[in-house]
Structure 1
Amino acid sequence: MDDDPLLDRLSAWQAAFDRGAEVSPAELCRGRPDLLPELERRVADLRRVAQLAATPPPADPDTTRPSAGGGPTPAGPPADTASFDPGPGGYEIGERVGGGGMGDVYRAHDPQLGRDVAVKAMKPALAADPAARARFLREARAAAAVRHDHLCPIYHVGETTAGPFLVMPLLAGETLAARLARGPLPPAEVARVGREAALGLAAAHAAGLIHRDIKPANLWLEAPTGRVVVLDFGLARVADADDGLSQPGRVAGTPSYMSPEQVDGRPLDPRTDLFSLGAVLYEAATGVRAFAGPSLTAVLKAVADASPPPPDAVNPAVPPALSAAVIRLLAKRPADRPPSASSVADALARVVGPAGDTDTVAPAPAVAAPPPPRPAARWPVRVAALVLLMTGAAAGWYAIRPPAPAPSPEPPAAAAAVEPLRVVSFEVRPWRPVAAGGTDVRPLPVLGREDSFSATVADFIDVKVTLSRPAYAYLILFRGDGADTVLYPQDDADEPEKSAAPHYPSKRREALYGLDDGPGLWAVGLVTSEDRLPPYREWRGSHPGGPWGRHPAPTDTVLFDDGAGLDVLVPGRPATRGSRGEKTDINRRPVVALVDWLKGQAGGPVAAVAFPVTAVK
């Protein structure tokens, strides 16, 4: 605790809090009593954040089921009959059919035009705030001025004593969220949905609107045609608005689909919607979220720092062209994403092809990977600050760490330097038999995350690596019995293909590697090269020996060594990154020696994840 004594103590407090333990500020400030008053104040802030995070939001659209009312219906009690009075508009209000954080949606009838409509009324508690009320009206009127086949039209914007409201068509069909609950979409359908959503966003962006909350629950699939309609501009704002109603530093959106600039509370431009669309299409193509985790902390960390494996590495049915297009949308830097929603629509149209063929088009150009992840030990404090921003209580954070400076102008993508080859992520995941001796297995968390810090000899593993750009690579398993075997490419007689996502299993996807070669310390090593590599059996024959052998395994400790530093991951504590020179610890010495040996055999970056394998209890 010497880099930043206050932040380190805050991290330690939240790490204990997250695992259900309690440590007092006084205990943390032993030897530094001067920090106690400030630490007590910060801990009080973090407790308030935890209370706010534990309070369920009103009618979160992500936890509701769709209806034909242009929005979701609460999954709990039956819809209530409305008490909303639309005033002089003359709409006949029926039952409540949905709602979200900003307002409630009611089925209604327009007697003057003889049609059923949906009326969205701002929540009274929000409408009581004059600034929020003015923002709602301003943005609703701006959205009403935009007409497009893939945007939900707004028929009317009005205001009553209870608050403002808007009138929309009553749509038949379901949200994309409801559709994805039944599984991923076929690749051609992913591209079609993405293209139509991008066309709608292009029209909104051209009118100066940024949606800021693109997610599956806000994309409607209209029955019976499947036409995509972008819903709910409840968080939208007018780009470059300077009326003081849209406040910088406030974070709004749904965490799993936020852009990194939203997470950081930085100024937004239309490219924030493109990142969110990429997260939606990733989920539509693979059936899993690009950024997920067991807590808000984990999700926000993933959005800001993690790069998901390409969709075609998760779902082999996804063509490379579509996978590359989605990954480009998920670039951390806005400058590395497509320049506009219309260009996204054009790219997805080329991916699909004239007859829905998704296999005939070359992949989209690769983009530079994000900068290296920030140290994990800083994350509990940083994420707590983000939640404070989300709840409007940002003052405490700025007292800890000043806001990030405005980003400098970004150079054109064509002028950018070639991204250095580096390891972005390295994941080893155990799979455990559902029943002893059975063939069915279930995935456990990635080693080093949640409560996953060891495996057993009955378990199996898969491995996923993300590189900053394509390269040739081997994934080598160093076993507890001292032997080694290649995982990628899956056959030692095959030459590795150039890839930004080497992974195992890669050839026989039903295969997982069993850890039944004995307990002890195991490791997965990564070797990369800019130049083509021979089959592993040839490479290993010309690189004999090595430091690996039988080693005792540390209890519940995962080690990650990338040749520059050593991460030590243990339950209940933030990751610690230390010097690789700390070789006196017998448990760390083998992985450091292994990486040093790999560095001497390879022309590119190397890394290793070491983990304990125990006997079945």
Structure 2
Amino acid sequence: MADNQPADFHEVAHRFSDLWQALNGDAHSPDIRKMLIDKVRDALDRGEARLGDADPAIIANSFVLEALVHDGGAAQVYRARHRDLGTLHAIKMPRPDRADDPVPRKLMLREAEIGMALRHPNIVATQIILRLADGRPALVMEWIGSRLAELLQQRPLSPGDVTSIMTSVFFGLDAIHAAGFVHCDLSPLNLLPAGGNFSRLKIADFGVALEAGCRHRQFDLAFAGRPDFASPEQTAGEPLDGRSDLYAAGLLLSLLLSHCTERDEELEALAIRLSQRDPGERPENARAALHLLGGPARRPVDF
């Protein structure tokens, strides 16, 4: 019987046979074997995606990428629509040219784990993590649509607006810190007012978040976050706790007051208290900061 296989078919089959024997030998424990097989699958996914003709605008056969809304150094964020439900979502993924880079993949998987552990009305919901055809992870989150940074350019704020924004921020930070994390990237770019409603503002983007007591260089990052909002201890690469986020909240409050239609001395005093360079001179935690703001002790979960 004639052999009609391509010339390199037998070589590929032989190499695969060697690989399969290596994976299934006695040298590896069952757990290690499973991990190695998954790595092989991941490599095959990336290779197949380079050869295939699948529509890159469709993710997991379920989401249509409608618009690129953010293109950062290592990651991109798209507005996406579910093909069956019609619901909008934000999908974050490493840039295509970083598909083979393990660092963005590791950080995004870690971001997914942190996001999935947090459920609060003032935190953007992480919904699921997908694997793209080329092996990149894709983080699916709820879609909000507007950023506080954009709204600040559109209209001035009243002291009531500022208080409402900071109340939402402190409630969100309280939940983040209670779960054992530090956000490390609090700024108007990562604060999303749902429907433009400041009382429903949500904290987004846990890409550089840390467990309390950790520092970024433990994850091979010399520095992470925005320098204009980072605390002195974050800039110095020291271990961080929730007071680092409170420093950023103080700078945020000062920025909001610069957009305010009238002066409020109590809010100005709180901004100064929050942004003390010595962490020991800041409020102990977000709940204490909320008390200084004069906010409610407890906001209903559904508001």
Q: Normalising by structure 1, what TM-score? A: 0.36
Distance in 2 separating the partners of 1:335 and 1:222: 34
Report the counterpart of residue 208 of structure 2 in structure 1.
Answer: 235
Report the counterpart of residue 97 of structure 1 in structure 2.
Answer: 69
Structure 2 residue 209 is matched with structure 1 residue 221: no
Q: Which of 326, 332, 337 is equivalent to 2:277? A: 332
Distance in 1 separating the partners of 2:98 and 2:181: 21
Whichever residue aligns with residue 129 of structure 1, its letter is D
Does structure 1 conserve the Cα–Cα contact (< 8 Å) formed by 2:82 and 2:88? yes
Whichever residue aligns with residue 205 of structure 2, its letter is D
Report the counterpart of residue 165 of structure 2 in structure 1.
Answer: 193
Structure 2 residue 139 is matched with structure 1 residue 169: no
Deviates more, 1:191-200 or 1:202-211: 202-211
Report the counterpart of residue 91 of structure 2 in structure 1.
Answer: 119
Does structure 2 conserve the Cα–Cα contact (< 8 Å) formed by 1:219 and 1:228? yes
Distance in 1 separating the partners of 2:98 and 2:177: 26
In the TM superposition, what is the alpha-carbon distance from 1:169 to its structure 2 partner? 1.7
Q: How has the CA–CA distance of structure 1 residues 202 and 90 changed in structure 2, closer, same or farther, with 3 Å as cutoff?
A: same
SS of residue in 1 equivalent to 2:104: helix
Does structure 2 conserve the Cα–Cα contact (< 8 Å) formed by 1:275 and 1:329? yes
Q: Which of 196, 210, 214 is equivalent to 2:182? A: 210
SS of residue in 2 equivalent to 1:232: coil
Distance in 2 separating the partners of 1:320 and 1:200: 24
Q: How has the CA–CA distance of structure 1 residues 269 and 101 changed in structure 2, closer, same or farther, with 3 Å as cutoff?
A: farther
Q: How has the CA–CA distance of structure 1 residues 132 and 119 changed in structure 2, closer, same or farther, with 3 Å as cutoff?
A: closer
Cα displacement string for residues 423-455 of structure 1 (whole angstroms, at most 9, x for unaligned residues):
xxxxxxxxxxxxxxxxxxxxxxxxxxxxxxxxx
Does structure 1 conserve the Cα–Cα contact (< 8 Å) formed by 2:122 and 2:172? yes
Cα displacement string for residues 143-170 of structure 1 (whole angstroms, at most 9, x for unaligned residues):
1121100100011112232411111122
Structure 2 residue 113 is matched with structure 1 residue 141: yes
Cα displacement string for residues 164-207 of structure 1 (whole angstroms, at most 9, x for unaligned residues):
111112224x3211122246521221111011011111111111
Q: Which of 242, 247, 250 is equivalent to 1:270? A: 242
Q: How has the CA–CA distance of structure 1 residues 124 and 282 changed in structure 2, closer, same or farther, with 3 Å as cutoff?
A: same
Q: How has the CA–CA distance of structure 1 residues 284 and 99 changed in structure 2, closer, same or farther, with 3 Å as cutoff?
A: same
Cα displacement string for residues 403-426 of structure 1 (whole angstroms, at most 9, x for unaligned residues):
xxxxxxxxxxxxxxxxxxxxxxxx
Distance in 2 separating the partners of 1:182 and 1:243: 35
Give the paired residue count: 240
Does structure 2 conserve the Cα–Cα contact (< 8 Å) formed by 1:184 and 1:286? no
Distance in 1 separating the partners of 2:68 and 2:212: 32
Report the counterpart of residue 290 of structure 2 in structure 1.
Answer: 345
Distance in 1 separating the partners of 2:196 and 2:223: 36
Distance in 2 separating the partners of 1:155 and 1:186: 34
Q: How has the CA–CA distance of structure 1 residues 188 and 168 changed in structure 2, closer, same or farther, with 3 Å as cutoff?
A: same
Whichever residue aligns with residue 267 of structure 2, its letter is L
- The unaligned stretches of length 5 or more in structure 2 are 1-54, 297-303
Q: How has the CA–CA distance of structure 1 residues 199 and 350 changed in structure 2, closer, same or farther, with 3 Å as cutoff?
A: closer
In the TM superposition, what is the alpha-carbon distance from 1:317 to its structure 2 partner? 3.0
Distance in 2 separating the partners of 1:214 and 1:242: 16
Structure 2 residue 223 is matched with structure 1 residue 251: yes
Does structure 1 conserve the Cα–Cα contact (< 8 Å) formed by 2:71 and 2:77? yes
Q: How has the CA–CA distance of structure 1 residues 109 and 338 changed in structure 2, closer, same or farther, with 3 Å as cutoff?
A: same
Q: How does 1:349-368 map to 2 (within 5 A)?
A: 349-350=294-295
Identity of aligned residues (%): 32
Cα displacement string for residues 300-349 of structure 1 (whole angstroms, at most 9, x for unaligned residues):
xxxxxxxxxxxxxxx89332221111111100011111111122223223
Cα displacement string for residues 52-71 of structure 1 (whole angstroms, at most 9, x for unaligned residues):
xxxxxxxxxxxxxxxxxxxx
Does structure 2 conserve the Cα–Cα contact (< 8 Å) formed by 1:139 and 1:236? yes
Report the counterpart of residue 458 of structure 1 in structure 2.
Answer: none
Report the counterpart of residue 127 of structure 2 in structure 1.
Answer: 155
Distance in 1 separating the partners of 2:99 and 2:275: 35
Does structure 2 conserve the Cα–Cα contact (< 8 Å) formed by 1:202 and 1:342? yes
Distance in 2 separating the partners of 1:330 and 1:166: 32
Whichever residue aligns with residue 101 of structure 1, its letter is G
Distance in 2 separating the partners of 1:176 and 1:243: 26
Whichever residue aligns with residue 337 of structure 1, its letter is R
Q: CA RMSD in A?
A: 2.7
Report the counterpart of residue 260 of structure 1 in structure 2.
Answer: 232
- The unaligned stretches of length 5 or more in structure 1 are 1-81, 288-314, 352-617
Does structure 1 conserve the Cα–Cα contact (< 8 Å) formed by 2:215 and 2:240? no
Does structure 1 conserve the Cα–Cα contact (< 8 Å) formed by 2:94 and 2:104? no
Q: How has the CA–CA distance of structure 1 residues 128 and 252 changed in structure 2, closer, same or farther, with 3 Å as cutoff?
A: same
Report the counterpart of residue 18 of structure 2 in structure 1.
Answer: none
SS of residue in 1 equivalent to 2:228: helix
Distance in 2 separating the partners of 1:163 and 1:327: 43
SS of residue in 1 equivalent to 2:223: coil
Does structure 2 conserve the Cα–Cα contact (< 8 Å) formed by 1:215 and 1:276? yes
Decide which structure has greater strand share. Answer: 1
Q: How does 1:244-323 map to 2 (within 5 A)?
A: 246-247=219-220, 250-287=222-259, 317-323=262-268
Distance in 1 separating the partners of 2:92 and 2:295: 37
Whichever residue aligns with residue 185 of structure 1, its letter is L
